[in-house]
Amino acid sequence: MTVFGFHASHEQIHPAKLLAAVTHAERAGFDAAMSSDHFSPWSARQGHSGFAWSWLGAALQATNLPFGVVNAPGQRYHPAIIAQAIGTLAAMYPGRFWAALGTGEASNEHITGGGWPRKDVRAARLRECVDVIRALLAGEEVSHDGLVTVDRAKLWTRPEQPPALIGAAVSVETARWCAEWADGLITVNAPVAHLRRMIDAYRDAGGRGPLHLQVHVSWAPDQAEAEAVAYDQWRSNVFAPPVCWDLELADHFDAVSEDVPLEKVTSVVNVSADLGRHVGWLEEYVALGFDQIALHHVGQEQRAFIDTFGTEVLPKLRTAS
């Protein structure tokens, strides 16, 4: 049966309010949670970007939910530090934590002052980071000289069982590449045909483990309100790679998204006041074989969404599956 989770968007919500939201989501019937991990929002209107790893410790303690986080090691984060963060949370909360690893976005990574590498270099760097993180979680002493450098690192606190390292992808090509190293695959909502191609590419290349999907939704009792919320909060997030990878500042995203039409927003966010439409969209994703679906209401106010989906949407999906 597909697990339905709550997505904690640090870029939009103060971490204290986000902690209250995820504890409320557990009470409302959500079975899991996942977290973003950015240094910067995509828009000044979003207005936040708390440190995910501090928050995750609080959220794991405050709930009984399993949690995941999407992280980009290699530039802003040294892979040994990410291995230590993963290892500590997994040791404290056995069986409840996983991490998805991706190549990142310049808006978060430029802050350290290094140049933003080409995509192929970022992919090669991530592959090195994955090997470093796995070796550290396995208890090895690691030295490595490559696109990242590690000198005699060893984790002294580790979980009994290393948590899953999930591959983050939005393209068929990256999904296929993730099959080389990942314990599962995570992506975001897209046309069903594209998602099916990604899944097939991952599985055909030998990809193992669960399939995760993050779904952007905007719901309100009134259609115009649902559209207004999505347009205000998410029109800076409609750009396909390489644009979304390479812009550096929230101001840049706001400038290029100033004249984005609503139709472009509704192509990347499931926007509707009709709960039946949301059930239908989610049923399509379930039919593709996703093991966990994290729902991200793109508004900054979460309570009405949590209550309504917990009461009216999730029970229908569980009955159907």
How many alpha carbons fall within 13 Å on the CB side of residue 281? 25
3 state DSSP class of 8:
strand
Residue 169 host element (H or E): none
pLDDT at site 284: 97
Residue 285 identity: Y
Collect all residues with Cβ–Cβ distance below 8 Å to 111 and sequence separation of at least 6.
39, 40, 76
Using alpha carbons only, give the angle 198, 2, 56 rounded to the nearest 5 degrees: 90
User: What are the contacts of 135-144 at 24+ separation with CB within 8 A?
Assistant: 136/79, 136/80, 136/83, 136/84, 136/87, 137/83, 137/86, 137/87, 137/162, 137/163, 138/162, 142/80
Q: Select from 317, 310, 283 the least CA-distant residue to 29.
A: 310
Confidence at residue 321, expressed as pLDDT on a 0 to 100 scale = 57
Q: How far apart are CA 238 and CA 316, in angstroms?
A: 29
Contact in structure between 160 and 94 (CB atoms under 8 Å) = yes
Contact 198, 172 (CB under 8 A): yes
Cα 158 from Cα 149, distance rounded (Å): 21
Alpha-carbon distance of 160 to 90, in angstroms, equals 9
CA 42 from chain centre, in angstroms, equals 15
State the number of CA atoms in the 13 A half-sphere of 63 facing the CB: 30
The structure tokens listed for 9 are: 């968007």
Pair of tokens at residue 115: 């140049």
| pLDDT digits 0-9 by tens, 187-224 | 999 999 999 999 999 999 999 999 999 999 999 999 99
Triad 120, 10, 36: Cα angle to 5°: 35
- Terminal Cα distance for the chain, rounded: 6
Alpha carbons 129 and 71: distance in angstroms, whole number: 11
Task: For the chain, list residues with pLDDT below 70.
Answer: 320-321
Q: At what angle do helices 79-92 and 119-137 cross, to 10 degrees?
A: 40
Nearest to 299 by CA among 243, 245, 221, 246: 221
User: What is the pLDDT, as a whole number, of residue 176?
Assistant: 98
CB count within 10 Å of CB 301 equals 14
Residue 248, both tokens: 């550096």
DSSP 104-146: --HHHHGGGS-----HHHHHHHHHHHHHHHHHHHTT--EEEES
CA torsion 81-207-68-113 (nearest 10°) is 40
